[in-house]
Each structure stands twice: as structure tokens, then as C-alpha cells.
């Protein structure tokens, strides 16, 4: 693999390290080390919140869900046997919890149509001028996309969820997820090409 493929962040290596460390944190949690849990919360709550928001459409519910997942992890750590993929466990627990909540809520009120959340993209505030220009252009390009397409794309591109994870979380087909991501990316590439 060429250097270029990894950009400046040497992704694959970082991820392997990450996984190993998560595992160590999980062992710490099994030994009732609350600092290990806090660290895991700091690492993963962001993506879990995004995922829970995308499913439930509610930032408040998302907080409750994510917090419940971590508390359950703490309570059940001794009986859990998570080998290798703590993040995967956390994500699927988040997703299940969010779906359970949705089912529960749908009994009370029919769920809003097109239930995925309004993952508003925040207008970026950036430190370097060059980055600012690019990010702003991409921000504007994303605004032009249909909401659902944008949300799926952001879950993947920004929040690092895999295609099957998104499909599973939002209960849509794999091809749909791929199509939406591809569509958004083609749009971005087109916009960037135009401006250079």
C-alpha cells in the first residue's frame, strides 16, 4: 500500500491499537475499575450518541440510551465475554436499546415519518484558512443533498460507522446505504472538481 492511502493519520494501525486498548479497558471494567469505564465512555460516546440519535430522532433519548448501555456494561461486565471487539458490542447494544425504545414509543404514538434524526451539520469553525475553505465548500455541498442521503453519508464518513452497521441500525438495505454514500461522495467530488 502506498503512503497516500493512509493520508497523514495511518488509520489501520491506529485502529488496531484502539481495539487492543478497548479490550484492556474492558478487562479493567471487569475488575471494577471505574476509570476504565470513564475512558471507554470518553472514547465511544460520540459515535453511540450519533447512532442513537439517528435511530430515535431524539437527542434526549440518545443520551439516556448511551448512558444505559454503559451502566449495563458495568453491571454485567463479569458475565460478559467480549472478545476482540468492544466497540462492536457497544454499537450493537446502543442500536438494540434504541430500537427497543422506538418500539415502546410507537405503542404510545405512531412514530414520525422517516424517523431518522435531523443530524444537523454544524457550520464548521476552523483554524486554518485552507481547511476552512474546503470544509465550507463541503458543508455547502452537503446542504444541497437530500437530508436522508446526507445523514447516511455523515454516519459513514464522519462518524465511522460501517455500511452494514448503518443498514442494520436504520433498518434499510445494504444497497441503499451504499447508494446514498456513493451519491453524496460523487456530489462532493463534483463540487471540489468544479472549484479547482
Partner 1 sequence: MCFCDLAHRIYMTHRVIDDETLASYLAGGLTPEESASIEQALVRSSDDYKVVDQVRSAREVFRREGRLELSEDMQNVRRQVESFIASSPSREAPDFEVRPRLSVNDSPPVRAGRWFPHWAFVTPFLVAALVWGVLKVDRSMVGSEGPGLASVYSTSNGHQASLSLPDGSHVILNVGSRLEVPSNFGMVNRQVRLAGEAVFTVAHRSSVPFSVAAGSTTTTVLGTVFKVRKYDSDTAVSVDVREGRVSVQSTVLTANESAIVTSSGDVSTVAMDLSSFDFIDGKLTISNLPLADAVRDLSRWYDADIQIGSPGLATQKVGGTFTLGSREELINILEKALGFRVIQQGRLLTVYE
* Among the listed residues 67, 92, 96, 176, the single contact to partner 1 using CB under 8 A: 67
Q: Are 52 and 170 in contact (CB under 8 A)?
A: no
Contact segment (CB under 8 A) with partner 1 among 12-20, 32-40, 82-90, 95-103 equals 32-40
**Binds partner 1 (CB under 8 A): choice among 121, 144, 164, 175:** 121
Query: Which of residues 7 and 113 has its CB atom nearest to partner 1 in the complex?
Result: 7
Specify the residue, 31 or 111, whose C-beta has the smaller distance to partner 1: 31
The HSE-up count of residue 12 (CA atoms within 13 Å, CB side) is 6
Residue placing its CB nearer to partner 1 in the complex, 76 or 103: 76
- 30 near partner 1, rule: CB under 8 A: yes
Q: How far apart are CA 178 and CA 153, in angstroms?
A: 9
Q: Which stretch binds partner 1 (CB under 8 A): 24-32, 83-91, 106-114, 168-176?
A: 24-32
Cα 131 from Cα 124, distance rounded (Å):
10
Measured from the CB atom, is 34 or 85 closer to partner 1?
Answer: 34
- Count of residues touching partner 1 (by CB under 8 A): 57
Which cell numbers hold the place of 55?
435511530
Among 115, 159, 168, 172, the residue binding partner 1 under the rule CB under 8 A is 159
> Please, which contacts does 16-25 make with residues 24 or more away whose CB atoms are closer than 8 Å?
18/43, 18/87, 19/84, 19/85, 19/86, 19/87, 22/86, 22/87, 23/82, 23/84, 23/86, 25/86
Residues contacting 120, CB < 8 A, separation 6+:
none
d(CA 168, CA 177): 10
Grid cell at residue 50: 450519533
- Which residues contribute to the site for partner 1 (CB under 8 A)? 1-2, 4-5, 7, 27, 30-32, 34, 37-38, 41-42, 45-46, 49-50, 59, 62-63, 66-67, 70-71, 74-76, 78-79, 121-122, 124-126, 130-131, 134-135, 137-138, 154, 156-159, 178, 181-182, 185-186, 188-190, 192-193, 196
Amino acid at each position: 500500500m502506498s503512503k497516500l492511502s493512509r493520508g497523514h493519520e495511518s488509520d489501520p494501525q491506529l485502529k488496531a491499537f484502539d481495539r487492543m486498548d478497548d479490550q484492556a479497558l474492558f478487562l479493567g471494567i471487569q475488575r471494577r475499575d471505574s476509570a476504565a469505564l470513564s475512558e471507554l465512555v470518553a472514547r465511544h460516546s460520540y459515535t453511540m450518541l450519533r447512532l442513537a440519535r439517528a435511530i430515535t430522532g431524539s437527542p434526549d433519548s440518545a443520551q439516556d440510551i448511551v448512558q444505559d448501555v454503559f451502566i449495563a456494561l458495568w453491571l454485567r461486565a463479569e458475565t460478559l465475554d467480549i472478545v476482540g471487539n468492544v466497540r462492536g458490542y457497544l454499537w450493537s447494544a446502543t442500536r438494540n436499546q434504541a430500537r427497543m425504545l422506538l418500539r415502546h414509543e410507537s405503542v404510545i404514538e405512531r412514530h414520525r415519518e422517516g424517523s431518522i434524526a435531523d443530524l444537523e451539520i454544524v457550520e464548521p469553525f476552523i483554524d486554518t484558512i485552507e481547511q476552512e475553505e474546503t470544509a465550507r465548500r463541503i458543508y455547502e455541498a452537503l446542504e444541497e443533498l437530500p437530508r436522508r442521503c446526507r445523514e447516511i453519508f455523515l454516519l459513514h464518513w464522519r462518524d465511522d460507522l460501517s455500511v452494514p452497521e448503518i443498514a442494520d441500525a436504520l433498518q434499510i438495505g445494504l444497497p441503499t446505504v451504499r447508494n446514498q454514500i456513493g451519491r453524496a461522495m460523487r456530489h462532493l467530488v463534483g463540487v471540489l472538481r468544479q472549484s479547482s
